[in-house]
């Protein structure tokens, strides 16, 4: 590797990391938020939605726009990551982004939604709810980031890159989620505290922690892809 190529790789990585962090947050978190908002809007317009037991049809109709939002956001993210890496097949990278992020996110979201009430009911007396929240959601954030980033490497047909992206993004996301969660708790946003439900504490902590995780993991992925692309040009 020439000194000039090495210099270009080093100077391009910070800019790529910054842009990648922003695109990751906008694409993935933005897709989740827009999809969720669209699903809520559709559900509220459905006749009979106010019943205590919504029908399966209500749930599926409301879930459809939410799923589309997640898929669209992650596809845009994957396509942009492919562009950063110099990939020629934009459709393949869009599919890698969507398939790498959406299924694992939905699966873990459903699993946590089912597991959390049971865990709180059985373990809430022995462990604080804030601790259970951290125990469940920190690994989930790391796993989602790792699988999504790894899929980008597979989309680029490089298994070594996929592994490198996966563990670095997963570790970065998990640590960042934990740090943001702890910081918010110190500022008074403690999950399970009195009046927490009225303040929507859990949703606030979850959103901000995921946003931080997306930014840091996105930066890690962008830096790696920039270096990988620079090496391929030699």
**Structural element, H or E, at residue 87:** none
**What does the block give as tokens for 31?**
């897709």
Whole-prediction pTM value? 0.87
pLDDT at 48: 58
Angle between helices 201-232 and 3-24 (to 10 degrees): 150
Quote the pLDDT of residue 57.
66
- For residue 7, the model assigns a pLDDT of 33
Higher-confidence position of 115 and 108: 108
Q: Return the pLDDT at 122.
A: 75
> Any idea where the domains of the chain sit in the sequence?
16-232
- Report the distance separating Cα 126 and Cα 135, nearest Å: 14
Positive/negative CA dihedral, 60, 199, 206, 113: negative
Cα-based torsion angle of the residue sequence 97, 98, 99, 104 in order, rounded to the nearest 10 degrees: 100
Mean pLDDT (whole number) for 177-203: 89
Mean pLDDT value across residues 123-130? 75
pLDDT tens by residue, 44-92: 776 655 555 566 666 677 778 889 999 999 999 999 999 999 898 999 9
pLDDT of residue 186: 93
**Residue 86: CB atoms within 10 Å:** 14
| DSSP letters for 107-167 | HHHHHHHHHHHHHHHHHTTTS-HHHHHHHHHHHHHHHHHHHHHHHHHHHTT-HHHHHHHHH
Segment among 90-99, 111-120, 217-226 with least mean pLDDT? 111-120
- Give the residue, 100 or 130, on which the prediction is more confident: 100
Q: Is residue 147 within 8 Å of residue 104, measured between CB atoms?
A: yes
> Which of 17-21, 119-123, 228-232 is predicted with the least confidence, judged by mean pLDDT?
119-123
């Amino acid at each position: 590797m020439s000194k000039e190529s090495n210099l270009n790789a080093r100077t391009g990585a910070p800019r790529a990391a910054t842009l990648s962090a922003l695109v990751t947050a906008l694409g993935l978190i933005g897709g989740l938020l827009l999809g969720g908002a669209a699903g809520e809007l559709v559900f509220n317009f459905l006749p009979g939605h106010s019943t205590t037991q919504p029908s399966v049809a209500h749930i599926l109709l409301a879930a459809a726009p939410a799923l589309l939002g997640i898929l669209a956001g992650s596809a845009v993210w994957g396509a942009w990551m492919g562009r950063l890496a110099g990939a020629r097949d934009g459709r393949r990278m869009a599919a890698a982004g969507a398939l790498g992020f959406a299924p694992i996110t939905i699966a873990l979201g459903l699993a946590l939604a089912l597991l959390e009430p049971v865990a709180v009911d059985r373990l809430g007396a022995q462990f604080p709810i804030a601790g259970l929240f951290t125990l469940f959601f920190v690994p989930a954030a790391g796993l989602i980031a790792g699988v999504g980033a790894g899929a980008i490497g597979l989309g680029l047909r490089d298994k070594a890159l996929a592994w490198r992206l996966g563990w670095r993004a997963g570790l970065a996301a998990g640590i960042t989620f934990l740090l943001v969660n702890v910081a918010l708790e110190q500022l008074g946003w403690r999950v399970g505290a009195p009046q927490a439900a009225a303040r929507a504490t859990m949703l606030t902590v979850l959103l901000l922690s995921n946003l931080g995780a997306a930014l840091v993991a996105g930066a890690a992925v962008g830096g790696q892809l920039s270096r990988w692309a620079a090496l391929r040009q030699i």
